[in-house]
């Protein structure tokens, strides 16, 4: 993957994450943001909200829809930038809540933030409403919505070595 532009690495990362989840039998990836215009998005009150990957996990008693954001960074020095991207993702997720709670039953969806580097935030941190308010830099954010958001956000780190392996699988397809 050397010599690639940042946009190509971002695309490769999305495809690597897709390959990871499609290799797990209970996951179905519906689309990525690279599948064409108006893909991997929802429309809420006339606004388009785009994600990198939309997928579903089938489980006993139902399933869970995932709205995923993938952020590739080349090294751990980018942790502050990834944290900033998490803030943007949380704001996007918050904007999506009304639509998703109307479309899916409570607990029928989640937001997954995937990155290639650790960035000082753990999934447990996102269960704390005050920490989410701090990340969003919005102390007046609706507590009820933040409570729902805190229950629906997941974090995942796909290290570079695994991305390379997954990228090889994508190339083989």
Across the range 147-151, mean pLDDT stands at 94
Reported as a single tens digit per residue, the pLDDT across 98-132 is 899 999 876 799 999 999 999 999 999 999 999 99
C-alpha 167/C-alpha 116 separation (Å) is 13
C-alpha 33/C-alpha 43 separation (Å) is 14
Q: Among the residues of 31-115, which ranges form H helices?
A: 79-103
- Biggest CA pair distance of the chain: 49
Across the range 24-28, mean pLDDT stands at 93
Element (H, E) at 112: strand 109-115
Compare 65 and 1 and report the one with higher pLDDT.
65
Compare 86 and 170 and report the one with higher pLDDT.
86
Question: pTM of the predicted model, to two decimals?
Answer: 0.90
C-alpha 49/C-alpha 161 separation (Å) is 31
109 token code pair:
């969806």
Place of tokens 């996951």: 27
Task: Rounding to the nearest 10 degrees, give the CA dihedral for residues 90, 27, 21, 145.
Answer: 10
Reported as a single tens digit per residue, the pLDDT across 14-23 is 999 998 999 8
Using pLDDT thresholds of 50, 70 and 90, give the confidence band for residue 74: confident
Positive or negative torsion for Cα 127, 67, 91, 105: negative
Question: Could you tell me if 111 and 89 are in contact, meaning their C-beta atoms sit under 8 angstroms apart?
Answer: yes
Q: Of 71, 33, 64, whose CA–CA distance to 50 is shortest?
A: 33
pLDDT(2) > 50: no
Phi, psi of 40 (to 5 degrees): 50, 50
23 token code pair:
């290799």
pLDDT score, position 67: 98
pLDDT score, position 3: 45
């Amino acid at each position: 993957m050397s010599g690639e532009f940042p946009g190509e690495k971002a695309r490769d990362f999305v495809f690597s994450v897709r390959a990871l989840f499609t290799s797990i039998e209970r996951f179905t990836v519906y689309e990525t943001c690279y599948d064409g215009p108006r893909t991997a998005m929802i429309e809420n009150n006339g606004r388009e909200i785009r994600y990198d990957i939309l997928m579903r996990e089938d489980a006993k008693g139902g399933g869970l829809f995932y709205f995923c954001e993938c952020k590739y960074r080349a090294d751990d020095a980018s942790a502050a930038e990834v944290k900033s991207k998490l803030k943007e993702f949380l704001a996007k997720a918050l904007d999506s809540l009304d639509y998703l709670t109307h479309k899916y039953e409570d607990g029928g969806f989640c937001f997954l933030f995937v990155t290639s580097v650790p960035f000082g935030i753990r999934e447990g941190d996102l269960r704390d409403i005050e920490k989410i308010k701090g990340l969003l830099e919005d102390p007046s954010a609706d507590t009820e919505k933040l409570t729902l958001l805190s229950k629906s956000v997941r974090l995942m780190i796909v290290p570079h070595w695994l991305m390379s392996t997954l990228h090889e699988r994508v190339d083989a397809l």
